[in-house]
Structure 1
Amino acid sequence: MTQISLNLATTREVWGFKDAVDGCLRAGITAISPWRDQVAAIGLNEAARIVAANNLRVTGLCRGGMFPAETAEGRQANIDDNLRAIDEAAALNADCLVLVVGGLPGSSKDIVGARQMVTDGIAAMLPHAQASGVKIAIEPLHPMYAADRACVNTIDQALDICELLGPNVGVAIDVYHVWWDPYLAAAIARAGRLNRIFAHHICDWLVPTTDMLLDRGMMGDGVIDLKAIRAMIEAAGYSGPQEVEIFSKNNWWKRPGDEVLAVIKERVASVC
């Protein structure tokens, strides 16, 4: 069975960093993907110690990005924050730093300009990432987030940036954001040819979806063909963990963490 990684957003309402690690170890899960606020809450040094002491794989650190801003000073502040994120990812020996790139700054309607700010921002952080041994993974988000969270919305858009900037930049493929893309198979194959698949995130798309951010489904409860997408990703050469990332304010965030992990293991085995 493909290895599972727990994105710690999945249990953030019931577990902090240490409790999540302990829960994963009880469940036999040895890969995690924490968020920066969770690391900050326990302290970077302590988080790194816990990772090393338990021989955990960190499949990603969430998140960097959010590059666009209305002023040059704002854009530089965002770049500086990304440089700090690189240091955190390096300390955790993370496979990659995941980028949610940001949307339109202020009252702007210039999405082309916002995308250029994203490319420029990644270019500015890239030398430090390369020197630190940290890979950068652009996560395309569903188009419903184009204005406020991510103006890069397809794998192909992300790969265009990757090809401009070099081999240290790749993609995090989150099924929630890309399952609808009519060019998905070709885009994943392209990512494989370029050796740019750095992470694979899973959950499910519920029908109906009641909240555009916080109503993701457990695998098997929605309409995404998870097996087919995983087959595409493996055919493209990526065999890393399937990272479970579920934002679910009215369901899974309210359940005990051990119960959530038990369901995750069953669903990954049966539907992923």
Structure 2
Amino acid sequence: MTAPDPRLSLNQATIKHADLATALRVTADAGIPAIGLWREPVAEAGLAEAARMLAASGLRFSTYCRGGFFTAPEGPDRRRALDDNRRAIDETATLAAAGAPGSRAVLVLVAGGIPDGSRDLAGARARVRDAVGELAPYAQAAGVTLAIEPLHPLYATDRAVVSTLTQALDLAGDFAPDVVGATVDTFHVFWDPALPEAIERAGREGRIASYQVCDWRTPLAADVLLSRHYPGEGVIDLAAVTAAVERTGYDGDVEVEIFHADVWATAPEQVARRVVETFGASVSPSLARAVDSRA
């Protein structure tokens, strides 16, 4: 059996139907040293209890999903979204403090899509910039890094008007890198011909706050959101992307985040074991080579 990579983190979405207690137990029992949590299971447990459970698990806390969804024009809906993001920032800080040594206070931001009835993509992106600017001082005071996650362009209308790593870096550029950075998710950015240069730039600016891996395989599911696969079981050159991220000096956890109905229908213990094996085969070798090259 493959030994878990010491930098592997299991994003809780990969075992979506497990409650928080189960997710923590399954992750720890598989020997995976870190977990990325989602707000909904934390809310079900209650923040204080979730923090206690995380501390008792001995796991590192790698990221918190998610904030964002703030592309609405000024008005009550936008104010509610920004207030909710402030709560997410507070939750991130609490959970990071409860995690094992090496935990990072990183809140992943998914920008949101084009508001209903609008065709103004540029305006929606401008409102993302404004929202990040409003939240950044609050995040800085809480010791939390906002990690803007670009999503594949097929999600631009309903989920994220930020589609490339370059766009995310441009949005982050007005702020200190420990306050606003970016999430590099292989599923969303592998297709971009400018990705190598964008990763190099992200490293130069110190803005890679989170690295997430899974794979892309066609045909896509009827619900394209549920089209992610285990690492190494699709077409993404995970070795090349991982090596590029490692060359920047990124030394944080690497999350496996999968949305797929078949994965969710599988026992979480089995999913965790398969994550360990597929990560070990497809991602770990590039981590090891990159570490060796820096030594």
TM-score between the two structures when normalised by the length of structure 1: 0.97
Partner amino acid, structure 1, of 2:42: V
Q: Distance between the aligned counterparts of 2:174 and 2:160, measured in 1? A: 19
Which residue of structure 1 aligns with residue 70 of structure 2? 67
Query: Residue in 1 aligned with 2:12?
Result: 8
- Asked if 1:181 is matched to 2:192, the reply is yes
Find out whether 1:17 has 2:20 as its counterpart.
yes
1:86 pairs with one of 83, 89, 103: 89
Separation in structure 2 between the aligned mates of residue 262 and residue 158 of structure 1, nearest angstrom? 33
* Of 129, 134, 141, the match for 2:151: 141
Whole-angstrom CA distance in 2 between matches of 1:95 and 1:266: 27
Does 1:159 pair with 2:169? yes
- Compare 3-12 and 202-211 and name the one that shifted more: 202-211
Relative to structure 1, the CA distance from residue 227 to residue 197 in structure 2 (aligned partners, 3 Å threshold; closer, same or farther) is: same
Measured in 2, the distance between the counterparts of 1:50 and 1:37 equals 15
2:152 partner amino acid: H
Distance, in Å, in 2 between the alignment partners of 1:121 and 1:248 is 31
Matched letter for residue 90 of structure 1: A
Corresponding position of 1:37? 40
Structure 1 residue runs of 4 or more that deviate by more than 3 Å after TM superposition: none
Once the two structures are TM-superposed, the CA of residue 71 in structure 1 deviates from its matched residue by 4.0
Deviations 1:182-214 (A, max 9, x none): 001000000000000011111110121123101
CA distance in 2, matches of 1:208, 1:245: 19
The answer as to whether partners of 1:60 and 1:96 remain within 8 angstroms in 2 is: yes
Q: What stretches of structure 1 of length at least 5 have no aligned partner?
A: none
CA displacement at 1:12 relative to structure 2:
1.2
SS across alignment from 1:137: strand
Cα contact 2:180–2:207 (8 A) shared by 1: yes
Q: CA shift at 1:72, angstroms?
A: 2.1
Aligned partners of 1:165 and 1:117: how far apart in 2? 16
Report the Cα offset of residue 95 of structure 1: 2.8
Match of 1:26 in 2: 29
TM-score (norm 2): 0.89
Aligned to 1:60, the other structure's residue is in SS state strand
- C-alpha distance in 2 between matches for 1:232 and 1:71: 39
The whole-number CA distance in structure 2 between the counterparts of 1:176 and 1:33 is 17
Q: Offset at 1:58?
A: 1.1
Answer whether contact 1:172 1:199 (CA < 8 A) is retained: yes
2:183: which partner in 1? Answer: 172
The answer on whether the counterparts of 2:73 and 2:127 sit within 8 Å (CA) in structure 1 is no
Q: Which amino acid aligns with 1:264?
A: V
Structure 2: distance between partners of 1:124 and 1:138: 14
Could you tell me whether the CA contact under 8 Å between 1:95 and 1:198 is conserved in 2? no
SS in 1 for 2:235: coil
Q: Which residue of 1 aligns with 2:218?
A: 207
**Contact (CA 8 Å) 1:32, 1:57: kept in 2 or not?**
yes
Report what 1:267 is aligned to.
278
CA contact (8 A) 2:6 2:33 kept: no
Where 1:45 maps in the other structure, the secondary structure is: helix
In 2: Cα distance, 1:133 partner to 1:165 partner: 14
Contact in 2 for aligned 1:70/1:106 (Cα 8 Å)? no
Contact 2:14/2:258, CA 8 A, preserved across alignment: yes
Q: Deviations over 1:140-188 (max 9, x none)?
A: 0000111110000100000001112332100010000000000010000
Q: 1:76 aligns with which of 79, 89, 99?
A: 79
> Which position in structure 2 is the counterpart of 1:221?
233
Give the conservation status (yes or no) of the 8 Å contact 1:141–1:178: yes
RMSD: 1.1
